[in-house]
Amino acid sequence: MPTTLGMGDQFTVQLKPLAEYIQPASKHHLFDDGNLLLDFDKAAFGTLVIQLPTNHQLTQISVHLGEVLNSEGRVNRNPDGCIRYKHITQSLEAGQNEVRLIIPADQRNTGAGAIHMPPEIGEVLPFRYAEIEGAEHIDPQSVEQIAVFYLFDDSAAEFESSDDVLNAVWDICKYSIKATTFCGVYVDGDRERIPYEGDAYINQLGHYCTDHEYDFARYSHEYLLQHPTWPTEWQLHTILIAWADYLYSGETASLEKFYPLLKAKTLMGLAREDGLISTESDLCTEEFERSLNFHNDSYIFKHGLRDLVDWPPGSFTQGGVGERDNHEMLPINTVVNAFHYHCLRLMVRIAQVKGCNSDVALFEERANLVFQSFNRVLFDSKKGIYIDGEGSSHASLHSNMFALAFDLVPTEHQSTVVDFVRSRGMACSVYGAQFLLEALYIANDGQAALELMRAQDDRSWWNMIKVGSTITLEAWDHKYKNNLDWNHAWGAAPANIIPRYLMGVQPSSPGFKNVHIKPQPGDLRNARLRHPTPLGPVEIEYIQNKSISIEIPHGMTAEIDLSLCTPQQWSFNNKTENTSKINCKAGKHLFTAT
């Protein structure tokens, strides 16, 4: 497991060891100069093993590893941004027939704060292609990629629909969740290999929806509770992660152990009289930051707590760069306070699980206060939308999509806020896309969300595939972040959005004892999902204007809402009465369009 853990770190779960998987090349090509190119189909974090001919005369082996090819079809020696490339020359001993490439350490991802690879695994590099120099006598079948993953069941989750683009988006996002487990903790990609709470939340939800695995997310969460990072919203994300852990797995040990710290992570200590919080307040002292587990010996501590909204800063929408949609950064920040409100509501539920009635009352009271203040201070009644902060005259996508996603928008303002959110398109980062899509689905505008997921412009998941990556990118395109990585799972939001919202499968009680199913398939002609749970898979098959079949595993009950499917009326298990909402027990159920 990670070698940067401090002696005082405590966990409620112990992970299995990382494993190495042998992957042969899917294609190969021998160039006229004797260089052998191998394509392993997908990028993976790992190394290369080469079996040399018995009587070879080589004294060294020279290999180029990379994530992308150049225009000549060779491994690109000078890729854009932080796309990975490494040239490794390794000496051979006399009679050596098996070569395992030793990946040199990179100062960018092996320094302070980074998660180090276990010694028994060694250093790794993300690569899809290998080009071996002077390889005329090397059999391509004797060269293998050694890929490092945490245990992953590829068959646990499946999705397929009538839309080929959406299917490809699902595939790259699902694989991204698997590929980025290489460190044993969720990390932000290869450039830093540092865990971050915002990244971990999207990783967590994607992992839950693509495999029946819950320990990895909890381990990463508990690591971050003890090694927090600097963004304000990242502190608040820990509560989202804690609740999701409990809701999906049904386990309470982590909530019990870290409950006092979760209370601090609400950032109630920064609240003024009306309940709104600010990191620019005099209340944001070094002592307060220490209450969040910031430490002097942490490089993160030197940053201090700062609002993020989205990353990178700025906006592409007016000819610049950045993903904040020109959000105006003010002391009372709308996005930060939306997160604060959402966390207070979640802490009501967490306190109920703990049986802390006084805390339940406290969090309910504070949430109600923040709701009233948020809508009084931050809503522009003339425009019908939310401004970016107290005193702002600007309204960004982010201020409105987070308000919508976190249930801060009163019914009478829903239409103007939804219209504004829809009008901005994908004016946020791959991280922000998680909450933009959630906001649209929560507003029952699944068609708009579907259009964003299957878009084919340069701010889309299809663009990630088109440029040649097999793992989701850190940003939409190189032109929007010129040092982007090609291996960030925070760009894999559809891995959880498709199962949770498009197909509508979400736990409504801990451990999936009860599941809520509310599909929003939009104009898809058909779609099929297998969703892993602790009790077994939930399976759904939808055929537009014809039928929906749903299989619920033993030990689970279901609340099914088909009101947003086409048509809106269905017969249930061949019964004559029409219904779009029903509660049912485990087993196979058939809804037929009427």
Q: Are residues 131 and 235 in the same domain?
A: no
Question: Looking at residue 332, what is its pLDDT?
Answer: 98
Taking the mean position of all CA atoms in its chain, how far away is CA 240?
13
Is residue 560's pLDDT more than 70?
Answer: yes
Whole-number Cα distances in Å, 504 to 209, 431, 499, 516: 12, 21, 6, 7
The answer to whether position 12 is within a domain reads: no
- The reported pLDDT for the residue numbered 98 is 96
Please check whether residues 178 and 318 belong to one and the same domain. Answer: yes
How many Cβ atoms are within 10 Å of 319's Cβ, its own excluded?
6
Q: Specify whether 196 is located in the same domain as 236.
A: yes
Q: What is the CATH classification number for the domain harbouring 75?
A: 2.60.120.260
Distance in angstroms (rounded) separating the CA atoms of residues 242 and 533: 17
Of 102, 117, 149, which marks where a domain is finished? 149
pLDDT at 454 over 60: yes
- Asked whether residue 1 carries a pLDDT value surpassing 50, the answer given is no
Whether residues 260 and 352 fall in one domain:
yes
| 204, amino acid identity | Q
Q: Among 184-188, 299-303, 449-453, whose mean pLDDT is lowest?
A: 299-303
Residues spanned by the domain of 31? 19-149
pLDDT at 7: 47
Closest alpha carbon to 530 in 312, 194, 212: 212
**Per-residue pLDDT, 4:** 47
Distance CA 588, CA 573 (A): 9
Nearest to 48 by CA among 106, 1, 90, 78: 90
**Angle, CA of 510, 496 and 115, to the nearest 5°:** 90
Distance in angstroms (rounded) separating the CA atoms of residues 117 and 123: 6
HEC letters along 342-395: HHHHHHHHHHHHHCCHHHHHHHHHHHHHHHHHHHHHCEECCCCEECCECCCCCC
Query: Is 441 within the bounds of a domain?
Result: yes
Whether pLDDT at 108 is above 80: yes
> pLDDT for 351-377, tens place per residue?
999 999 999 999 999 999 999 999 999
5 pLDDT higher than 90: no
Q: Which residue(s) pair with 131 in the sheet?
A: 37, 64
Between residues 366 and 304, the one the model is more confident about: 366
CATH number of the domain where residue 323 is located: 1.50.10.10
Q: Residue 159 in contact with residue 499, Cβ under 8 Å?
A: yes
Residue found under tokens 């306190």: 351
Both 444 and 489 in one domain: the answer is: yes
Best CA proximity match to 507, nearest among 218, 243, 176, 252 = 243
Adjacent-strand bridge partners of 572? 591
Q: Is residue 383 located within the same domain as residue 432?
A: yes
Examine the domain organization and report whether 169 and 91 are in the same domain: no
CA distance 51 to 54: 9
Looking at the predicted structure, is the pLDDT value of residue 497 above 80? yes
**584 in a structural domain:** yes
Domain-terminating residue out of 468, 484, 502:
502
Is residue 312 reached through a cis peptide bond, with omega within 30 degrees of 0 on the bond before it?
Answer: yes
Same domain, 189 and 128: no
What percent of the chain stands above pLDDT 90?
A: 89
Distance (Å, whole) CA 61 – CA 50:
9
Residues 302-316, mean pLDDT to the nearest whole number: 86
Predicted confidence at residue 2, as pLDDT, reads 43
Q: Are both 323 and 177 inside the same structural domain?
A: yes
Q: Which segments of 187-332 does DSSP mark as H helices, in order?
A: 197-210, 215-226, 232-249, 253-265, 286-291
563 and 525 in one domain? yes
Q: Measure Cα distances from 103 to 217, 372, 459 in Å.
A: 27, 56, 33
User: Of how many residues is the chain composed?
Assistant: 594
In this prediction the pTM is 0.96
Q: Is a pLDDT exceeding 60 seen at residue 299?
A: no
Q: Residue 315 — very low, low, confident or very high, per pLDDT cuts 50/70/90?
A: confident
Task: Give me the mean pLDDT over the 480-499 stretch.
Answer: 96
Provide the angle, in degrees to the nearest 10, between the axes of the packed helices 232-249 and 334-354.
40
Pair (107, 250) in one structural domain = no
Q: Is the pLDDT score of 317 beyond 80?
A: no
**pLDDT at 301 > cutoff 80:** no
Give the number of other Cβ atoms within 10 Å of residue 260's Cβ.
9
Instruction: Confirm whether 216 is domain-assigned.
Output: yes
Number of compact structural domains in the chain: 3
Q: For residue 339, which of 237, 204, 265 has the smallest C-alpha distance?
A: 237
**For residues 275-281, average pLDDT:** 97
Tell me whether strands 85-91 and 505-507 are parallel, antiparallel or unpaired. unpaired
